[in-house]
Amino acid sequence: MNFSISWLSQYYTKIITLYKKKKLHPIILLQSTYDIGIQKLVYEISTFFLCLKKKKMYYCNKCTSCYLMKLKIHPDFYDIKDKNKKKIGIDLIRNVILKIYTTAQQGNKKILWFSNILNLTHEASNTLLKTCEEPPKNTFFFLYTNNSQHMISTLRSRAIFYNLSVPTEKEGILWLKKKNIKKKISLNLIQTSLRLYNYSPFSANFFLNNVLFSQRIKIINIFKNYYINRKYLILINAFKYINNPDLIFWICFLILDAIKLLSKKKINIQNLDQISFLKKFSKEYSYQILNKMLFSWLKCNFCLCNILGIDKEILIIEQVLYTTILLKKNLEN
In angstroms, the CA 251 to CA 226 distance is: 12
Beta carbon nearer to Zn ion, 60 or 317: 60
From the CB of 213, what's the least distance to Zn ion, in Å?
37
Beta carbon nearer to Zn ion, 26 or 107: 107
User: Left (φ > 0), alpha (ψ -120 to 50) or beta: where does 235 sit?
Assistant: alpha
Count of beta carbons in the 10 Å neighbourhood of residue 178: 9
Q: Which stretch binds Zn ion (CB under 5 A): 14-22, 52-60, 84-92, 236-244?
A: 52-60
Instruction: Name the residue type at position 97.
Output: I
How wide is the angle at C-alpha 60 spanned by C-alphas 29 and 43, nearest 5°?
A: 25
From the CB of 28, what's the least distance to Zn ion, in Å?
21
Cα 296 to chain center, whole Å?
Answer: 26
Phi, psi at residue 169, to the nearest 5°? -60, -35
In angstroms, the CA 100 to CA 97 distance is: 5
Beta carbon nearer to Zn ion, 62 or 218: 62
- Contact between 43 and Zn ion per CB under 5 A: no
Whether residue 289 contacts residue 326, with contact meaning beta carbons closer than 8 Å, is answered with: yes
- Contact between 49 and Zn ion per CB under 5 A: no
From the CB of 310, what's the least distance to Zn ion, in Å?
52
From the CB of 59, what's the least distance to Zn ion, in Å?
5
From the CB of 78, what's the least distance to Zn ion, in Å?
19
Count of beta carbons in the 10 Å neighbourhood of residue 181: 9
- Contact between 51 and Zn ion per CB under 5 A: yes
Beta carbon nearer to Zn ion, 60 or 326: 60
Q: Which stretch binds Zn ion (CB under 5 A): 6-14, 43-51, 77-85, 155-163?
A: 43-51
In angstroms, the CA 16 to CA 95 distance is: 29
From the CB of 214, what's the least distance to Zn ion, in Å?
41
# binding residues, Zn ion (CB under 5 A): 5
In angstroms, the CA 254 to CA 170 distance is: 23
Beta carbon nearer to Zn ion, 74 or 195: 74
Radius of gyration of the chain, Cα coordinates, nearest whole angstrom: 24
Q: Which of 284, 286, 207, 282 is nearest to 249 (CA)?
A: 207
From the CB of 53, what's the least distance to Zn ion, in Å?
5
User: According to CB under 5 A, which residues from 201 to 240 bind Zn ion?
Assistant: none
Q: Which stretch binds Zn ion (CB under 5 A): 48-56, 68-76, 239-247, 263-271?
A: 48-56
Q: In the stretch 54-93, what mask flags binding to Zn ion with x, by CB under 5 A?
A: -----xx--x--x---------------------------
From the CB of 47, what's the least distance to Zn ion, in Å?
7
In angstroms, the CA 255 to CA 233 distance is: 19
Side-chain-side CA neighbours of 267 within 13 Å: the count stands at: 1
Binding stretches for Zn ion (CB under 5 A): 51, 59-60, 63, 66
